[in-house]
Amino acid sequence: MPSLLSGLDRWLSPAPDPARVGWLKGVTYAHRGLHGAGSAENSPSAFTAAIEAGLGIECDVRLSADGHAIVFHDHDLDRLTDRTGPLALRTMAELGQIALPPAPEDTIPPLAVLLARIAGRTPLLIELKTDREEPVAPLCRAVLRDTDGYHGLYAVMSFDSRVSRWFSRNAPGVVRGLVISETHGDGSNPRASLWHARPDFLAYDVRDLPSAFAAAQRARGLPVLTWTVSSPELRQLAQNHADGPIAEAAGVSSQT
């Protein structure tokens, strides 16, 4: 059975060309930017701090009411701003006026603004946040539109296997990843998600490492990144079982 599954992995989700994905390895990615006491997650100041620290960046994007990719993690605005309700009900212009405390200059940025700020200076992971009952194509198209012509290193990724599959069909030149949590996710079967997504790399929940499944995919050529690395102990786990940490808090400071 293991050899049969390995054969199906190779057939249904071929390993990428190493030249396309090699840059993913050996980079520490600041989870939602280098945020902390002075800046909010996914904020312009957190991204600037990551660049200045020599880190890669991981960010989250959602779709605005008028079809733009917006850098924000949550479905609702409540946790991080003084507004309430779903982000998806507001336009890009409206979202751009909403503050992200504590830095007084920070507001919710569109992806296009983040790309202009990075300007190719550091690798970027863009996680597309989706709702299972909604189609993924509008957000995928918005991200593809913003990244068209961008000359820096970047990749897209998502828990939703439909995202990676969309890019494999519509923009195969874009490096694409599947985010996996074996024991803390939605119960999706990792192998079934792999076969559907056809990703170039995996972003694995560090709490699931070591993982025989992740190790098998890594051995056949899919880079394995891991999140969220937030302590020196998890940093060591990432070093032993993955190709790069997506880190925050002490998971970053233990390296830098």
In the chain, where the domains are located: 18-253
Which residue reads 């059975």 in tokens?
A: 1
State both tokens at 93. Answer: 């212009």
Sign (positive or negative) of CA dihedral 34, 36, 38, 41 = positive
Residue 153 has, within 13 A of its CA and on its CB side, a CA count of 16
Band (pLDDT 50/70/90 cuts) for residue 8 is very high
What would the two tokens of residue 108 be? 């919710």
Q: Do 44 and 117 form a contact (C-beta atoms < 8 A)?
A: yes
- 169 burial (CB, 10 Å; 0-12 / 13-18 / 19+) is exposed
Predicted confidence band of residue 31 (pLDDT cuts 50, 70, 90): very high
Mean pLDDT of 6-12: 95
Is residue 2 predicted with pLDDT exceeding 90? no
Rounded-to-integer distance, Cα 46 and Cα 121, Å: 15
Averaged pLDDT, 82-93 = 98
Beta carbons within 8 Å of 107's beta carbon, 6+ residues apart: 44, 95, 96, 97, 98, 99, 100
Residue 182's nearest CA partner among 210, 151, 163 is: 210
Q: CB under 8 Å to 192, separation ≥6 — which residues? A: none
What integer pLDDT is reported at residue 185 of this predicted model? 82
- CATH homologous superfamily for the domain 18-253: Phosphatidylinositol (PI) phosphodiesterase (3.20.20.190)
Q: Mind listing the pLDDT tens digit for each residue in 193-206?
A: 999 999 999 999 99
* Dihedral in degrees, nearest 10, Cα atoms 22, 157, 71, 32: -60
d(CA 1, CA 9): 12
pTM, two decimals, is 0.97
Q: Are 229 and 238 contacting, i.e. CB atoms less than 8 angstroms apart?
A: yes
Does the pLDDT of residue 136 top 90, yes or no? yes
Residue-averaged pLDDT of the chain: 96
> 256 pLDDT band (50/70/90 cuts)?
very low
pLDDT at residue 255 above 70? no
Q: What is the pLDDT at residue 1?
A: 62
Average pLDDT of span 114-128? 98
Q: Which of 84-93, 105-114, 182-191 has the lowest mean pLDDT?
A: 182-191
Mean per-residue pLDDT, 1-17: 91
Predicted confidence (pLDDT) per residue in 149-203, tens digit: 999 999 999 999 999 999 999 999 999 999 999 988 888 899 999 999 999 999 9
Q: What percentage of residues in the chain have a pLDDT greater than 90?
A: 93
Instruction: Please say if the pLDDT value at position 78 is more than 60.
Output: yes
How many whole angstroms separate alpha carbon 106 and alpha carbon 83? 15
Nearest to 30 by CA among 51, 57, 48: 57
| Residue 44 confidence (pLDDT) above 90 | yes
Say how many Å lie between the first and final Cα of the chain, rounded.
43
Distance of CA 199 to the CA centre of its chain: 13
Fill in the DSSP letter of residue 119.
Answer: T
What whole-number percentage of the chain has pLDDT above 70?
Answer: 98
